[in-house]
Structure 1
């Protein structure tokens, strides 16, 4: 039996694994290294975070982005956007040097087992673990507007479905959203020869300002401090004090997680976008009707008027909504037993990221309603990794705690039709 199985090999999973290995835990790491970044972000994208705030975490602090760049003769600097490809390569380097070998397999189930958990993979392997850390990233929680749910994949997709946008050259594409993902996807589509437009519920686009210089006078630094989420005292609080956020009332935490990071575009994208992409402001999708090769979008304007857009493809760049009900790899008896916070049913967590099910830990997006908006960014991995591993050690070193009683499995009547889950509810790969 393993002490800890980490499910997911993105920035959070790899950082947890580095700390767990250094602490001497018997460990397995399951998932494709940096899969979300390698396969689900279009080529040509850049990080919104500054390079100095984009480190993965190991206990000694030796495997930073700066160390990778120095070893590979790559130049990065404050105020210059970092290519996603460079960050992905850094994550893979971190996985090779700071973490035990990652098993690049898909986890299909995490089930309760006597004294711990049983973790099953698509290849048929079944592992036993005393503790499990779920660091599955955002892909299980992609959010699409409801009118798009019934459209076929050939006509509608999510922005995370694409690594290569060149196949849209010459086509009319409608991008839904007003955040960085929507705006950068639309700009890249235009640069690949597509004819994109953006449909936004907002009445205008918000653009972030260029970052302040790292080295400033003491007065300016005091007024507007740098932090991993940008500048300013509010951002500093979310970035540096997640432990304090967790002590706030649950309703306040849930509101902060949902509203602090308002949709906005980065300063360096603005010129590329505004000269290439038209925007329909103040519109939401009322209905979407599939044709043979097109989609007919019925839009409702802020003034109540209706309009119609004919397009060849719709890309929903509408983000991710953390919700345990969509984490299909977790046994439903465990899912349903967990204490939750917020309307989206995220797990309520202790200060060491442990859920109400003893030995089951979470990291990343699902922890934002407990620890705040920093958990939506790579920067949050450093806060998470050490605390989570210390929590695992306390769990393993302490007295066994009985898991919640499981309900008896219900056997459906013989005549019951088999369930046919929708694509949004289907089992998700591990990232």
Structure 2
């Protein structure tokens, strides 16, 4: 089979994978898309979660009109999601992604890619868990957060076999139904939206919850839409010059020094609860701020955290369970389906692939989009609206491959 007639394989069927595949197909490029549509949003996000992003920042980019969030609402009769005051339940967003896939990628293959290896004449050999093997001219990795859950070293010591939803220590990504925490004591480590919202949902389910945040004053909430600054440019994330620049000119982020790019990804739109969460959080969830985890252990089945307040004094907190809502860290080593030769050919920066302007890595024909692209293009790639920047550029690059 010639290189031109071999398909492009898109691995992942979340917002970035669906968007990239739709753009490739619109250019007449043969595409095979692998994965369960919106699986992370359906099984690794807590039931009852509400998206932090506004409707304007939550559309999956398509190559033609008629596939946005409002189109989904009109077509399915769902509640109209339009203004900054409209909140998007995760169940509605997952349904939107599945609707998008059904309309634009009806032949999506709900199987997993087991391995990706280069072939001598160019392109890649892929194996699927169905037993099929085939060759692709290029591969787009759009696996989202899968494999990138971050567990602080001190906390990991209490879970030597790894975090588990049913164990004493878990990561937030391992939970969907939080109702099982009713009547239990839970410590949530973190101060971002994931930590604060998981804490609220567990407290509302009947758990006794306390948030442990490393920095003093770390538990904060954003401003409501009518409290946004009026004399600053608008962006999908709010009104601020920095947010406008990073969302409208992501191209220029690539030219910044690596330390600056990594700093932006970590700190811009960093730990901050949504404005609508404040009222549900206050008075319902306990908080220990300015406390660093020194060590963790398990006694009689209960995790115990030793905390330092920075003055040398230590205190201990114990609970029935500890949930780490400590975010994600990209490391291509965690992508086990990439063959050793493929990974060895990648140029990385702090574990993330270094990409060119078209989202291609140092391995010709291997592309990354979504979170793994954030270290090259900035924090825009952490959000669904980044599909509008990434997908057209990736498709254009692949069309010229």
For this structure pair, what is the TM-score category when the shorter chain's length is used for normalisation?
Answer: over 0.9
SS in structure 2 at match of 1:227: coil
Verify the 8 A CA contact 1:139 1:160 in the aligned structure 2.
Answer: no
SS in structure 1 at match of 2:118: strand
Q: Which residue of 2 aligns with 1:37?
A: 41
Stretches of structure 1 lacking an aligned partner (at least 5 in a row): 215-219, 396-431
CA distance in 2, matches of 1:313, 1:121: 37
CA distance in 1, matches of 2:128, 2:54: 36
SS in structure 2 at match of 1:49: coil
Distance apart, 1:95 and its partner CA: 0.3
CA distance in 1, matches of 2:170, 2:27: 42
SS in structure 2 at match of 1:314: strand
RMSD of equivalent CA atoms: 1.5
Q: Which residue of 2 aligns with 1:178?
A: 191
Residue of 146, 150, 172 corresponding to 1:139: 146
CA distance in 2, matches of 1:224, 1:169: 44
Verify the 8 A CA contact 1:109 1:329 in the aligned structure 2.
Answer: yes
**CA shift digits 1:306-361 (9 cap, x unpaired):** 111111111000000111222222112221221123xx221111110000110000
Q: Which residue of 2 aligns with 1:243?
A: 251
**CA shift digits 1:116-167 (9 cap, x unpaired):** 1112222222221010000010121100111232426211111111110011
Report the TM-score when normalising by structure 2. Answer: 0.93
Q: Is 1:124 aligned with 2:137?
A: no
Q: Which residue of 1 aligns with 2:201?
A: 188
Q: Is 1:208 aligned with 2:213?
A: no
SS in structure 2 at match of 1:139: coil
Distance apart, 1:100 and its partner CA: 4.0
SS in structure 1 at match of 2:255: coil
Residue of 385, 397, 400 corresponding to 1:391: 397
Q: Is 1:75 aligned with 2:80?
A: yes
Report the TM-score when normalising by structure 1. Answer: 0.87
Q: Is 1:65 aligned with 2:69?
A: yes
Q: How does 1:356-375 map to 2 (within 5 A)?
A: 356-375=362-381
SS in structure 1 at match of 2:170: strand
CA distance in 2, matches of 1:123, 1:303: 57
**CA shift digits 1:216-266 (9 cap, x unpaired):** xxxx76x22221222211101111111111122233222212221220101
Verify the 8 A CA contact 1:283 1:302 in the aligned structure 2.
Answer: yes
How many residues were matched structurally?
387
Give 4+ residue runs of structure 1 displaced > 4 Å after superposition.
Answer: none
Verify the 8 A CA contact 1:322 1:345 in the aligned structure 2.
Answer: yes
**CA shift digits 1:165-215 (9 cap, x unpaired):** 01111111110000000000000000011111110002012211012499x
Verify the 8 A CA contact 2:303 2:321 in the aligned structure 1.
Answer: yes
CA distance in 1, matches of 2:369, 2:140: 7
Verify the 8 A CA contact 2:70 2:82 in the aligned structure 1.
Answer: no
Q: Which residue of 2 aligns with 1:405?
A: none
SS in structure 1 at match of 2:384: coil
Closer, same or farther in 2 for the Cα pair 1:212/1:125, shift >3 Å?
A: farther
Q: How does 1:283-362 map to 2 (within 5 A)?
A: 283-341=291-349, 344-362=350-368
CA distance in 1, matches of 2:153, 2:145: 18
Stretches of structure 2 lacking an aligned partner (at least 5 in a row): none
SS in structure 2 at match of 1:319: coil
CA distance in 1, matches of 2:340, 2:189: 32
Residue of 162, 170, 183 corresponding to 1:157: 170
Closer, same or farther in 2 for the Cα pair 1:132/1:260, shift >3 Å?
A: same
Name the stretch that deviates more: 380-389 or 241-250: 241-250
SS in structure 1 at match of 2:358: coil
CA distance in 2, matches of 1:235, 1:289: 41
CA distance in 1, matches of 2:246, 2:107: 33
Verify the 8 A CA contact 1:47 1:83 in the aligned structure 2.
Answer: yes
